[in-house]
Amino acid sequence: MLHVFGHTNPDTDAITAALVYANLLNRQGVEAQAFRLGELNFETQFVLKALELEAPPLLSALQAGTEVALVDHNESAQSTANLSELSVKRVVDHHKLGDLTTANPPYLRFEPVGCTGTILLKLHREANLSVEAGDAKLMLSAILSDTLHFRSPTTTQDDRDAVDFLAPIAGIQNVEEYALAMFAAKSDLGDTPAETLLKMDYKVFPFGDPTRPQEWGLGVIETTNPGYVFGRQAELLAAMDKAKAEDGLAGVLLSVVDILNETNRTLVLSATEEKVLHEAFGAVTQDHVADLGNRISRKKQLVPTLEKYFTPPA
Amino acid sequence: MLHVFGHTNPDTDAITAALVYANLLNRQGVEAQAFRLGELNFETQFVLKALELEAPPLLSALQAGTEVALVDHNESAQSTANLSELSVKRVVDHHKLGDLTTANPPYLRFEPVGCTGTILLKLHREANLSVEAGDAKLMLSAILSDTLHFRSPTTTQDDRDAVDFLAPIAGIQNVEEYALAMFAAKSDLGDTPAETLLKMDYKVFPFGDPTRPQEWGLGVIETTNPGYVFGRQAELLAAMDKAKAEDGLAGVLLSVVDILNETNRTLVLSATEEKVLHEAFGAVTQDHVADLGNRISRKKQLVPTLEKYFTPPA
């Protein structure tokens, strides 16, 4: 039985892609089950609740050699702890290719699109399989989430076409309204502990020389209510400080992305992070906040610049 | 313009996949040109001659950052020298995933099938593009070549289905007859220098600890006339000895695969190779020849066993 899962600190794409891909594989005669590598965020909870779906079970430690399918990630730093001991049979992803290797020829499907859901829809259509209504809503939700309803520069025409195709199957008349409801659910952070806020959409990236990389933790909070987040700035900086020490990181950043105004103001822990943001992006930090302008995509506008900054010239 | 190429020491799949994929990309509006990383073997020459096609040009050194598409390989040891400096945009392959990484999300299409040509046919069908007659013959030739006309254990139902689909488009009435003609052309080695015979279908694999791998050169001669090859055994062993020294390899093997009888008798250079073949496969070497039985697939029956043999237990 193939274990299908997305990255740690799962977002809506990581969870829904696992559910949809496991279902697709089962329909194609490949026994598969979806799992998650962490707690659901409020947006994903909203999406699953509307469909009366249970969250996939939390993945427990897998025995070496267990056959797995990765969705929405491929780097070991974002996956289950012993990924290198597992047998990766399949990957469906839309991120850069990291440190993954396989012992045997795998099935890989990567496309430079905004969302794994967009690729999963293609897999249905290529297999001449109808899209089930629930799966349609899961894929559509993931695409709206990952692309911030087409605001993110990661958006491609394929993502727009996928939403156009999926909306009627999912029974969604007004996509804009549905996206705003999703984003409102995501922004309703209530009394979530600061540690949870930091790690909600958080990935560790190894930068620089692969033989001795320096690891940076990059968190993002996408919200329609940035004022709420900055109201908890002191707590969040303390959580960042703790994460940096506990995980032995070289730096930690938390980008607060204002979805509706498409801006990124990033929390900056110390002079180390301030120096890097200044040298890599020309960003000025004031009172622990750096203005990163309209760089709202970690994948497209933050990580490549940082990668380049940390990579020594050949 | 995307540079499209297969592995060094190109076989029929490496050459035809570059030609077919470049044509497909151009038809889809992506400017692309096919290249090769070495001289054509006699089988590939036979295939191109029947179609009155020129070989793709030899790839010259590419500037850092040049955009490339890899077909039929992904490991740097089998690619152009400065692959790590190039921008890999696309890979279509059916081998295990090696040391490839990318700076940005790529287009990747890997499937565990017998031949890249089988995947390229799927790409045509998924894009609702007709298959041109010449491309049909190129893909069909590659599938027959890589699977030894379905004799290799790497063969899948997808490969058989692809040949059934392509044969009428390619205008080939008798697939068996065409395959035998291809294999005869491949086996007509004439006065080819021993160095060329060794390197005709030759790949270097890093085994063991990735931080300090030991590199093995694994050559294969697939032939309907093994007697010819063993008649040149002394010359071939000398060529293997030279390659081992020049490339600083830990070991060199040359498997002589009798296509029609589906057997593998492998030339063994020294006690080092003899020991490994004995411990990994239980094979007995006599007069520099080890009987590897029906292990006719380097990819499926030699490399995984050697990989396991050289990997220290976790």
Residue A240 predicted with pLDDT over 80: yes
User: How does A268-296 read in b/e, with b if 16+ C-beta sit within 10 Å?
Assistant: bbeeebbebbeeebebebeebbbebeebb
- In angstroms, the separation between the Cα of residue B109 and the nearest Cα of chain A is 5
What residues in B contact A107, CB-CB < 8 Å?
110-112
What residues in B contact A96, CB-CB < 8 Å?
101-106
Q: How far is CA B132 from CA A224, B3, B117, in A?
A: 52, 21, 14
Q: Which residue among B94, B108, B304 sits closest to A110, beta carbon to beta carbon?
A: B108
- In angstroms, the separation between the Cα of residue B122 and the nearest Cα of chain A is 9
* pTM summary value: 0.90
Query: What is the rounded distance in angstroms from the CA atom of residue B153 to the CA atom of residue B161?
Result: 16
Give the model confidence (pLDDT) of A67-82 as tens digits: 999 999 999 989 999 9
- Using an 8 Å CB-CB cutoff, list residues of chain B that contact chain A: 64, 85, 93-113, 122, 126, 210-211, 299, 304, 307, 314
Maximum C-alpha span of chain B: 56
Residue B282 predicted with pLDDT over 80: yes
Reading the block at residue A167, the tokens are 């909306």
Q: Are strands A289-291 and A285-286 parallel, antiparallel or unpaired?
A: antiparallel
Q: Do B105 and A111 touch (CB under 8 A)?
A: yes
Name the residue in chain B with its Cα closest to that of A119: B107
Question: What's the pLDDT at B53?
Answer: 96
Query: What is the rounded distance in angstroms from the CA atom of residue A122 to the CA atom of residue A116?
Result: 10
Q: Give the gyration radius of chain A's Cα atoms.
A: 19
Question: What's the pLDDT at A30?
Answer: 97
Q: Which of A71, A94, A110 to mutate to test the interface with B (most CBs of B within 10 A)?
A: A110
Name the residue in chain B with its Cα closest to that of A305: B103
Q: Are B270 and B300 in contact (CB under 8 A)?
A: no
Taking residues B224-237, report their average pLDDT: 95
What residues in B contact A211, CB-CB < 8 Å?
211
Query: What is the rounded distance in angstroms from the CA atom of residue A227 to the CA atom of residue A289?
Result: 13
Name the residue in chain A with its Cα closest to that of B154: A105
Q: Which of B254, B270, B266, B244 is nearest to B218 (CA)?
A: B254
Give the model confidence (pLDDT) of A95-145 as tens digits: 999 999 998 999 999 999 999 999 999 999 999 999 999 999 999 999 999
Domains of chain B: 2-185 (3.90.1640.10), 194-310 (3.10.310.20)
Give the model confidence (pLDDT) of A40-62 as tens digits: 999 999 999 999 999 999 999 99
What residues in B contact A94, CB-CB < 8 Å?
105
Residue A311 predicted with pLDDT over 90: no
Residue B314 predicted with pLDDT over 70: no
Q: What is the ipTM of this complex?
A: 0.88
A159-163, A187-191, B92-96: least confident range:
A187-191
- In angstroms, the separation between the Cα of residue A82 and the nearest Cα of chain B is 11
Calculated CA dihedral for residues A179, A223, A20, A53, nearest 10 degrees: -80
Residue B31 predicted with pLDDT over 90: yes
Question: What's the pLDDT at A148?
Answer: 94
Q: Are B107 and A94 in contact (CB under 8 A)?
A: no
Query: What is the rounded distance in angstroms from the CA atom of residue B165 to the CA atom of residue A111?
Result: 27
Tell me the count of A-B CB pairs closer than 8 A: 78
Query: What is the rounded distance in angstroms from the CA atom of residue B3 to the CA atom of residue B32?
Result: 6
Residue A252 or residue A103, greater confidence: A252
Give the model confidence (pLDDT) of B113-154 as tens digits: 999 999 999 999 999 999 999 999 999 999 999 999 999 999
Reading the block at residue B270, the tokens are 């020294």
Q: Give the gyration radius of chain B's Cα atoms.
A: 19
pLDDT band at A312 (very low <50, low <70, confident <90, very high): confident
Q: Are strands B202-207 and B214-223 parallel, antiparallel or unpaired?
A: antiparallel
Q: Do B95 and A101 touch (CB under 8 A)?
A: no
SS3 of chain B: helix, strand, coil, percent, to 5: 40, 20, 35
- Per-residue HEC secondary structure of B216-278 comes to EEEEEEEECCHHHHHCCHHHHHHHHHHHHHHCCCCEEEEEEEECCCCEEEEEECCHHHHHHHH
- In angstroms, the separation between the Cα of residue A64 and the nearest Cα of chain B is 10
Write out the DSSP string of A167-208: HHHHT-S-HHHHHHHHHHHHH--TT--HHHHHHTTEEEEEES
Residue A310 or residue A209, greater confidence: A310
Residue A294 predicted with pLDDT over 90: yes
A287-291, A308-312, B2-6, B140-144: least confident range:
A308-312
Q: Which of A68, A108, A301 to mutate to test the interface with B (most CBs of B within 10 A)?
A: A108
Q: Do A96 and B103 touch (CB under 8 A)?
A: yes
Question: What's the pLDDT at A190?
Answer: 87
- In angstroms, the separation between the Cα of residue B136 and the nearest Cα of chain A is 20
Q: Which of A68, A84, A97 to mutate to test the interface with B (most CBs of B within 10 A)?
A: A97
Taking residues A176-199, report their average pLDDT: 94
Residue A285 predicted with pLDDT over 90: yes
Residue A200 predicted with pLDDT over 80: yes
Residue A314 predicted with pLDDT over 80: no
- In angstroms, the separation between the Cα of residue A112 and the nearest Cα of chain B is 5
Q: Do A107 and B105 touch (CB under 8 A)?
A: no
Q: Which residue among B103, B110, B211 sits closest to A105, beta carbon to beta carbon?
A: B110
Question: What's the pLDDT at B49?
Answer: 96
